[in-house]
Amino acid sequence: MSGKLAMYGFDHAYDLGQFEMGFARPSVFPAVFEHLHVCGQGRFSEVLYAKTALSAIQHFDHDECVSIRDLDLMFLLERDAERHWTEIHSSADRIEWEKRLVHAADEACRKTSQKLGAEWTRVIAPERRIADEFLRVTGDLSGVLDREFAFLRETCPEHQEQIKAWSWRSGDDQVLACHVFFRFVAEVDRGLLDQCDCKLRDNDSLRRLMHMIADHVGNCRKAFLG
């Protein structure tokens, strides 16, 4: 399925558990990504369904502050109108469902962009501007990644505990994004200093900003590691 979706510009962007996978491609709107989220449920993925979304980041996150979902594709593919999924009883059923998904995915994602893209771009614009400024002052992240351990240790001790609280996942990208924020926040936007003591889960705008920085870090890390 990945190879067939690649013909429409989709990259296999993430896996969430055993029966969830995601594909992403750039939207016609700048710095916005179209996401195709494929899900299965049951011991052996006995049911399948798919949804589309627009996201401010390339890598998927369930956090609603960073993405907006569209259920039209799920309704289009459903064989069960009550549960909005398709039951899979054989390999032939799976192949047939995947064919329908591949056939519908390109147009479904384009329609999601047409329907939601302009408003979503407006919503995320403030954080995108600030994220771009963080990336500008950070400079070449390859240099940061080359000495990542030292970079992390150089962050002021007073911020270390807050960074632990803000690292919403244990992944290296989220941790490094938090360090980038605290190292350069005073240079980028001193107004953000008043928010540094907040709980990240309570601040959608700040959390969206951190997702954007972490997404860029992840893309740079992938390129850095080759």
Q: Specify whether 117 is located in the same domain as 146.
A: no
CA dist., res. 175 & res. 185, Å (int)? 15
CB atoms within 10 A of CB 60: 23
Q: Specify whether 186 is located in the same domain as 220.
A: yes
CA dist., res. 108 & res. 70, Å (int)? 9
Q: Specify whether 52 is located in the same domain as 110.
A: yes
Q: Specify whether 33 is located in the same domain as 112.
A: yes
| Terminal alpha carbon distance of the chain | 24
Q: Specify whether 34 is located in the same domain as 79.
A: yes
Residues of the chain with pLDDT under 50: none
Domain membership flag for residue 131: no
**Which pTM was predicted?**
0.87
Closest Cα to residue 155, out of 170, 177, 136? 177
CA dist., res. 179 & res. 163, Å (int)? 7
Bridging pattern class, strands 11-15 and 33-41: unpaired
Q: Specify whether 74 is located in the same domain as 26.
A: yes
**Domain span at residue 165?**
139-225
Task: Give, in degrees to the nearest 5, the angle at Cα 131 between 109 and 206.
Answer: 90
Domains: count for the chain: 2
pLDDT of residue 20: 87
Q: Specify whether 187 is located in the same domain as 216.
A: yes
Q: Give CA 112 to chain center in angstroms.
A: 16
Partners of 40 in the beta sheet?
48
Q: Specify whether 114 is located in the same domain as 208.
A: no
pLDDT of residue 183: 93
